[in-house]
A and B are shown apart, each in its own frame.
Chain A
Amino acid sequence: MSKYLFASLNSFFIVFFSYFVFLSIISWQEARELLDTGGLNYDLGSYLYLPLGAYAFSWVVFGKWSLPGQLIISILMSLYWALEMNIFFQFVLINVFGPVISVSIFRFLEVYKFKDINSESLLSLSFLCIVLALFNSLSKFFIFFMTDDQPSSAFDFLVTYLPGDFIGSFVFLVSAKFVMKVFHLGDNQKNKSAI
Chain B
Amino acid sequence: MTDQRKGSDAEPTTHFGFKNVPESQKADKVAEVFHSVAGKYDLMNDVLSGGMHRLWKRFTIELSGVRPGNKVLDIAGGTGDLARKFSQLVGPTGHVVLADINASMLKVGRDRLLDKGVAGNIEFVQADAEKLPFPDNHFDCVTIAFGLRNVTHKEDALRSMLRVLKPGGRLLVLEFSKPTNALMSKVYDAYSFAFMPMVGKLVLNDADSYRYLAESIRMHPNQETLKSMMVEAGFDRVTYHNMTSGIVALHRGIKP
Q: Do A and B bind each other?
A: no
* Interface residues, chain B, with chain A CB atoms under 8 Å away: none
Give residues in A with beta carbon < 8 Å to B. none
